[in-house]
Structure 1
């Protein structure tokens, strides 16, 4: 949490209450509480470790768009908490080993690796094939490296086997 010092205790209390209501965690640890030094600087990051060891995250940054709406501090707090808790709940419910913001970053490693790779991004996604970033990354790697992503949600690929220190692959 990175918030104006005077808002830290109230947001922490409200966040813990909301997480308990959502039954998202067996234990809750607040790792960082820092004074942002300014009332327009607010950032909240939630990280969850699932029972099978996967780590999923969600964050929210208070932006000028919300400031232009003249939100009260209490509304900003509620907006931030609702955003991260609802988004993280959605990611957990999808059951993937990565969240949608990590999935696109793994595409290049999948395409360049040797052999078959698979990334479980979960089931039940509105857009099962991933975000627009993920689709774009796959298109780029298919165009540049000649790989083809397949599977039900295009989550698997046989990589080219790039050899370290060279521009050669199998």
Structure 2
């Protein structure tokens, strides 16, 4: 059976989703405060990026009669964040909307306090701090709709990076 681009990239998307889900479950189980740490977001970003690049490299090794075009490189890349982030969002929705909705409130309060401290350190005017805190407290970042919006924005962000990755790893058309 000949491997296809999708059959090579899909497992990397599943691995990304599992890794992001494990990070979420561990943060939930050990300390909700971890959800307010900047390095958690950076580590999640790196997990997806590295696995997406591995998917592109694996897809490039598939022997076909055609060259590894920009479209093929981008497709292999895009599959990973699309699947991985979707799995992570579903796990997050399950945890914060079904299993423990009170955890969402706790994380929101912690996020508001972290934001307040950061803004005070940057000498932001009190009126702006109060507005930012009110905005955080009035929106439920863990609602189904807000998580889906976050998924779309993250996918757009990773797609922009994917364009660069695809440019780097594509092969030029030998017939052009």
TM-score of the superposition, structure 2-length normalised?
Answer: 0.28
Higher relative contact order (CA 8 A, sep 6+): 2
TM-score of the superposition, structure 1-length normalised?
Answer: 0.29
Q: Point out the structure with the larger strand share.
A: 1
Q: Point out the structure with the larger helix share.
A: 2
